[in-house]
A and B are shown apart, each in its own frame.
Chain A
Amino acid sequence: MVPIIIIASILFGLSVVARQPDHVSILMPAPFADSTVDLVKSFNQQHHGRIHLNVIRGPLETEAISDLAISSLLLGDTPFDGLLMDVTWVPKYAKAGWLESLDNYFSNNEVSALASGASEGNHYQGSLLRWPLTADIGLLYWRTDLMDQPPRTPQELERISQKLQSSGRVPYGYVWQGRQYEGLSCVFLEVIDGFGGEWFSAESGQIGLDKPAGLAAAQWLDGLIQRGVSPRAVTNFSESEALQSFKSGQAAFMRNWPYAWAELQKNDSQVKNKIAITTMVAQTGHQPAATLGSWGLSLLRGSAHPESTVEAFKFLTSEESQRYLYSQYGYTPTQKAIFNDQDLLKKHPSLQSIGEALAYARSRPETPVYAQVSDVLQRKLSGTLTGMTSPTAGMQQAEQSTIQVLEAAGAAP
């Protein structure tokens, strides 16, 4: 009797082991984890018994989630299978050897179905390392109750602002992100490109800060504060402060990401139904630029279930999921087809402007030492905006420090 029980229980145990689903875990920043709860639920229903997806709710801030991911990756075996990554992390994580290539999991057709802009920033040195969940781009928000047409050039933006300010219709013209942090680099990238320059090219190693366009960009941003178009406090503004200021009707223009749209259309907003979006201003003869800030899913090296993880990626980024995430949470879709969806366009007219702006998406420099390069720019630009240095001196120092950083890291081409 006893041996039979033992054998039976061993067999039962084995069958339980055999039926164990693959446990896949993905680390995401808190807002993304919250908005994908329903998607994860339906994924787990559809894959019941085969794959169990568990999204780990990380911290709220971009840098905090990177710190958390890096701390665990440094210790060796990754506790996660997938990571939702900001676009600027890709080269660094790739170079550190933490990412698994996705080339074998996504076909060329799937890649070419991505909207232009959304397809950028997913590759490093030719291999696909990240699959985009949402595209994010810098936009210029403007007030339809104060003007008929948005400005197209930096000079126009200033002129309109000053006119509106002197007639007392708004206390400030333009609010943006001037705090010493990553947002400042995003703002600067759009302005320097709009003046026809380039911040830093990872391929050629060219730095464009101490060049006419770089100087013009720094001078323009500094001038906005000097001439009162932007409040002095902009030197400590991140996205949320700019949004609050614009939302309470304090400014005619704001630079922000697509998420701000939904916030501005809430009932407590002073500018509800009085806003529109367009691309950032650019000097005549130059194309406007929209900083790409997309989030995407990466497979971490050492994952025990790469196939199942990619299956979860495909589910979370499917057309249907993107439609859901856009209409529920305003996440910018990454697939071309969705921008042509007439039903969706009718319900959300702003989708068209976002689609148009996406065509002007520009990546920040794609280098493993991006964090250093951006840090140098933020410090020097913050020094200029707070009156510590002149724009010219600030950009000269920024260019010098960038060269030093690249040399010290051994990343100078």
Chain B
Amino acid sequence: MPLTLLLLPSLIFLIAVFALPLIRYVWLSFHADSVMTGLLAIPNQGANWQRFIHDSRYWQDLFQTLRFAFVSVTAEVVLGFIIALILNQPLRKRALIRSSSLIPWALPTTVMALGWRWIFNTPYGPIDRLIQSGLGRPLNALGEPSIAWITTVYADIWKTTPFVALILLAGLQTIPSDLYEAAKLEGAGPWICLRRITVPLLLPYLGLALMFRLAQAFGVFDLVQVMTGGGPASSTESIALYAYWNALRFLDFGYSATIMIGSFVILSSLIVIAWVVISLARNRSAGAFAK
């Protein structure tokens, strides 16, 4: 019996939960299926896609979602790396420090989003109070389109940096300490060790963290929904929020499916590009390490 046959059960499972809904969405994106059609799917000759291409709101949301994802994930990786390096040191009460650093990540997103909404609240939140006593005027962070998105990024960094740190910490622990000892004997300082040993060997874990985080950040929903509801002036609206509104609030399933499939295509091509770039970088640094 060929071994590939053994994969069949999991393949069937994957098709059922992954491919079928996707095919259904593609089919739906070529139909009008909304409250106005009595929730019946009626073919509409690609009208959804016409609308999608010209939907300036979608492209604004895409930009905002990408901005959110890149800024927050970059910050999380940098901070997470630093935190992982610290947690990897032989500290006193290390177990306690390690587990307590995970608290933000363990909190449900909606709960912490509600918390941040009140912390940033004008005029009752503590941050606004502080700024008002310093600047003399309130910050109004959640009411200004130019800064509201930064508060959502901030809340996301606060919540998910521990997750990145955890993955990177696991990576750090796989690096054998004799590598560092050998490098030290050769006269390498801490900076060289970090650049030549830690970072290259951590790259697979970094890639893993990036994959997880980017996929999650592109689909950001609950955080934004609770903190700002997409406002002010839709400056924090994400793709997932827009698709959700179309489906559940507007009862326009045809267009909602179009947004999902459109975003799926755009984002998966972005991830493929990112993956290629990362593998190229990994190969190059692996080559450098071999030298």
Chain B interface residue count, CB cutoff 8 Å, equals 32
User: Is B234 among interface residues, defined by CB-CB distance under 8 A?
Assistant: yes
Given contacts A63-B249, A368-B36, A371-B249, contact A179 B145 (CB under 8 A): no
Closest partner residue, chain B, to A381 (CB atom):
B233
- Say whether B249 contacts A236, CB under 8 Å: no
A232 to chain B: closest residue by CB: B140
Could you tell me the distance in whole angstroms from the C-beta of A238 to the nearest C-beta in chain B?
A: 9
Closest 8 CB pairs of A and B: A180-B231, A236-B143, A233-B122, A235-B143, A383-B233, A382-B233, A236-B142, A371-B249
Set of chain A residues within 8 Å of B245, measured between Cβ atoms: 371, 375
CA of A371 to CA of B256 in the docked complex: distance in angstroms? Answer: 15
Minimum CB–CB distance from A282 to chain B (whole Å) comes to: 27
With A180-B234, A235-B232 in contact, is A92–B145 under 8 Å at CB?
no
Question: Do B232 and A97 touch (CB < 8 A)?
Answer: no
Spot the interface stretch: A199-207, A301-309, A403-411. A403-411
Q: Contact at A96–B39, with CB atoms within 8 Å?
A: yes
Interface presence of B221 (CB below 8 A): no
Q: Are B122 and A236 in contact (CB under 8 A)?
A: yes
Contact between chains at A386 and B233 (CB < 8 Å)? yes
CA distance A42 to B255 in the complex (A): 47
Contact across chains for B39 and A180 when beta carbons are under 8 A apart: no
Task: Tell me whether A145 is interfacial, beta carbon within 8 Å.
Answer: no
Chain A residues contacting B255 (CB-CB under 8 Å) are 408
B250 A386 Cβ-Cβ under 8 A = no
Q: Is there contact, CB below 8 Å, between A410 and B36?
A: yes
> Which single residue of chain B is at the shortest CB-CB distance from A98?
B39
Q: Given A180-B230, A181-B231, A236-B122, does the pair A386, B36 have CB atoms closer than 8 Å?
A: no
Indicate which residue in A66, A67, A235 contacts B140 across the interface (CB closer than 8 Å): A235
Per-position contact with A for B30-66: 1 when CB-CB < 8 Å, else 0?
0010111111000000000001000001000000000
Return B141 CB to nearest CB of chain A, in Å: 9
Within 8 A of B (CB), among A96-111: 96-97
**New A-B pairs, 8, CB < 8 Å, besides A180-B229, A232-B138, A388-B145:** A70-B248, A96-B251, A97-B38, A181-B231, A372-B250, A383-B233, A408-B255, A410-B36
Which chain A residues lie closer than 8 Å to B57 at the CB level? 379
Complex interface: chain A residues within 8 A of B38 (CB): 95-97
CA distance A408 to B231 in the complex (A): 23
- Shortest distance from the beta carbon of B165 to any chain A beta carbon, whole Å: 32
Smallest Cβ-Cβ distance to A244: which chain B residue: B124
Contact indicator B138/A409 (Cβ below 8 Å): no
Q: Which residues of B contact A368 (CB under 8 A)?
A: 35-36
**Which residues in B have their C-beta under 8 angstroms from that of A375?**
245, 249-250
CB distance from B43 to the nearest CB of A (A): 14
Contact B39 A236 (CB under 8 A): no
- CB of A95 within 8 A of CB of B35, answer yes
Within 8 A of B (CB), among A77-94: 92
Instruction: Select A379's contact among B35, B51, B142, B233, beta carbons within 8 Å.
Output: B233
Known: A386-B145, A408-B255, A410-B36. A379 touches B234 (CB 8 A): yes
Cα–Cα, bound, A378→B122 (Å)? 20
Q: In the complex, what residues of B have CB within 8 A of residue A233's CB?
A: 122-123, 138, 140, 143
Chain A nearest Cβ from B51, distance in angstroms: 6
Question: Is the CB of B76 closer than 8 A to any CB of chain A?
Answer: no
User: Are A386 and B232 also in contact (CB < 8 A) when A233-B138, A236-B122 are?
Assistant: yes
Chain A residues positioned under 8 Å from B145 (CB to CB) = 383, 386, 388
Flag whether B144 is at the interface (Cβ < 8 A).
Answer: yes
A-chain residues with CB within 8 Å of residue B122 when the two chains form the complex: 231-233, 236
Q: Is the CB of B229 within 8 A of A92?
A: no
Contact, CB under 8 Å: B143 / A369: no
Residues of A within 8 A of B101 (CB): none
Residues of A within 8 A of B39 (CB): 74, 96-97
Question: CA of A304 to CA of B229 in the docked complex: distance in angstroms?
Answer: 37
- Which chain B residue shows the least CB distance to A397? B56
